[in-house]
Amino acid sequence: MATLESGNAPGENLYYLNLDATRTTVPGNYPVDNVYSNPNEKASLVRGDGNKIGASMILKVMAGDKFNLQANSWYVLGGNTPDAPVSPLSDIFSALASSLCDQQS
């Protein structure tokens, strides 16, 4: 589990990508949730005009494999209505290709 807490970073960075690039201190109005991490002082900040992909992991899955996935999100409307959503497929494929190239190096 990627908690994003600074004290857990060395171990989490062995398994997850983009933690250091997106780790930030949670804002004051962030909901208190110590179920998965206590303290819960860090989160991954992603933006459409910056880092679009937070914590990530490449898994090799074979026929019959099973895995569980959970992601939590939080959003506060900053006064402006967001533009219509766009398909993230090109960003996903680009990130996947980039990370595959990084692993071959």
- With a threshold of 0.85, does the pTM exceed it? no
Determine, yes or no, domain membership for 12.
Answer: yes
Determine, yes or no, domain membership for 15.
Answer: yes
DSSP the chain: -----GGGHHHHTTT-BSHHHHEEEPPTTSPP--SS-SS--EEE---TTS----SB------TT--------------SSPPPPP---HHHHHHHHHHHHHHHH-
Number of domains in the chain: 1
Determine, yes or no, domain membership for 73.
Answer: no
74: nearest Cα among 39, 38, 40: 40
pLDDT at 105 over 60: no
Determine, yes or no, domain membership for 66.
Answer: no
Condensed to tens digits (0 to 9), the pLDDT of residues 74-95 reads 877 776 666 766 777 788 888 8
Determine, yes or no, domain membership for 77.
Answer: no
Condensed to tens digits (0 to 9), the pLDDT of residues 1-55 reads 788 888 889 999 999 999 999 999 988 888 877 777 778 888 888 888 888 888 8
